[in-house]
Amino acid sequence: MVKKSLVIEISKNDSALDDYLQIVSTDAACVAKRYWKDPDLNSYNGGKIHPITLLSHANNKNFITDYNSGGYKTYQSGNDVAKQIVSLGLIPTRFKFCLLAGCKGAESTGREGLYVQVGDALVIPVVASTTPVKLATTNTQITLTPQDQGQWKVYFPEESSVYGLEHERCKEIHEYLMGYVFQCCTEES
């Protein structure tokens, strides 16, 4: 089994996300997949250290699974995307947490909220932003920055609780994100 961070691109037909996925693919400690093109996910294992990252456009309730120059075309719920990924052989509990690298995943904290849906389906903690996220690259690193005073939130499905990324409960996740493939920032950083 491959023990690495796993990045799965959910939104297709967006060249910018393709570029980000290509940068992540060059990292020796990271595996990047376009799940609709290469669906075999059963051999991946984060060793309960590394995350699963879902790279996508999103709103507070749905992933945008198909994007074109005329606008957003196809939406899918967090629950449906998570179940589809699991059906491709992924065993989520092999990973420490899931990062939603997209916009507004944590804007809604109710059962219909995107990161709550994903967390309940994968049964691992999920990190998401309360606002749109700016993705930028510096050398070989991707920076994910919540915009408009946004914050990173973490949903823990086993306790149905939400914490800010800076909270003591999220210390391991925060340390991982600040020092690894993704440098998660706030606008003030």
Instruction: Determine, yes or no, domain membership for 137.
Output: yes
Q: 3-class SS at 68?
A: strand
CB 157 within 8 A of CB 119: yes
Residues 66 and 160: their CA atoms lie apart, in Å, by 30
Instruction: Determine, yes or no, domain membership for 163.
Output: yes
Under DSSP, the state recorded for 168 is G
Give the count of domains, the chain: 1
Instruction: Determine, yes or no, domain membership for 156.
Output: yes
- Write the pLDDT tens digit of every residue in 14-40: 777 777 777 777 676 678 788 777 778
Instruction: Determine, yes or no, domain membership for 78.
Output: yes
CATH code at position 164: 3.40.50
Q: Which domain holds residue 14?
A: 2-184
Closest CA to 109 of 68, 61, 145: 61
The model's pTM is: 0.88
Instruction: Determine, yes or no, domain membership for 175.
Output: yes
Closest CA to 52 of 179, 176, 178: 176
Instruction: Determine, yes or no, domain membership for 189.
Output: no
pLDDT score recorded for residue 181:
47
Residues 69 and 34: their CA atoms lie apart, in Å, by 20
